[in-house]
Amino acid sequence: MSMLLSAQESQLVLVDYQTKLMPVIHEGQKVLANAVRLAKIAKLLQLPIIATEQNPDKLGPNDAELKSLCQKTLSKMHFGACEDGLVEILRKPSKPMGNARSLPKHLARKQEGAEERNTILIAGCEAHVCLLQTALGLLDEEFDVWVVTDACSSRTEANRDAAFDRLAGNGAELVTTEMVVFELLQSCEHPHFKEGLALIK
């Protein structure tokens, strides 16, 4: 596993920022604002962005702005999204540009292989339930999991912090929104550096 994030190898998973849940979440507004920042930088750098909603009939949909930035929203009943099809979505390579059949075999293969994105940036609520169970499920499936701590929370700080301890103990990397933005950009000469900087100022 690389020590630094790579935009080419990463996907973003945003867990349950739902309208009926967020008002009771510790620092909910700040956490949601960071999730939106993550989605915006991911969109700018063309990372796949997948969201989940826990029992949306009861907890409502995800925040509208956040939902509009996601390519796909998975509705789930299990607390861990891996049980409801998240792994299949993450493993499915996005379509190569152009027609792979028209390419020579070795190039077509290389193009298919290049679509593997095994690094999962993940954030969400509640940190000690759905986020934790989803992240542990992804670790179990041998993804590299990076938890964006300042975009995660629970109703209580104690539960949130217990989740971070357990995730770190099981091999997840703990990062912040700003760390993610600068690592994905890598250089102040990146064509999207100004936009990325604007997101965190």
Task: Render pLDDT for 153-199 as a digit per residue (tens, 0 to 9).
Answer: 999 999 999 999 999 999 999 999 999 999 999 999 999 999 999 99
- Who wins on pLDDT, 115 or 14? 14
Dist CA 14 CA 107 (whole Å): 33
Distance CA 67, CA 15 (A): 11
Residue 92: what pLDDT? 83
Residue 96, pLDDT score: 45
Q: Which two tokens stand for residue 167?
A: 């995730």
Strands 144-148 and 119-124: parallel
pLDDT of residue 41 exceeding 70? yes
Give the model's pLDDT for residue 65.
Answer: 98
**In the predicted model, is pLDDT for residue 93 greater than 80?**
no
Q: Is the dihedral of CA 36, 40, 45, 49 positive or negative?
A: positive
pLDDT in tens, 23-37: 999 999 999 999 999
What is the DSSP code (8-state) at residue 63? P
Look at residue 21 in the predicted model and tell me its pLDDT: 97
Instruction: Tokens for 99, please give them.
Output: 């027609």
Report how far residue 131's alpha carbon sits from residue 147's, in angstroms, rounded to the nearest whole number.
9
Confidence check: pLDDT of 142 > 70: yes
Q: Domains of the chain, with CATH numbers? A: 7-200 (3.40.50.850)
Residue 107 in this model has a pLDDT that exceeds 70: no
Return mean pLDDT, the chain: 91
Task: Judge if pTM exceeds 0.85.
Answer: yes
pLDDT band at 97 (very low <50, low <70, confident <90, very high): very low
Q: Say what the pLDDT of residue 94 is.
A: 56
112's enclosing H/E stretch is helix 105-113
Q: What is the widest separation between alpha-carbon atoms in the chain?
A: 56
pLDDT at 105: 53
* pLDDT grade for 200, boundaries at 50, 70 and 90: confident
Residue 105 C-alpha from the chain's centroid:
33
CA quadruple 122, 127, 130, 134: dihedral sign: positive
pLDDT attached to residue 110? 46
Q: What are 43-52's pLDDT values in tens digits?
A: 999 999 999 9
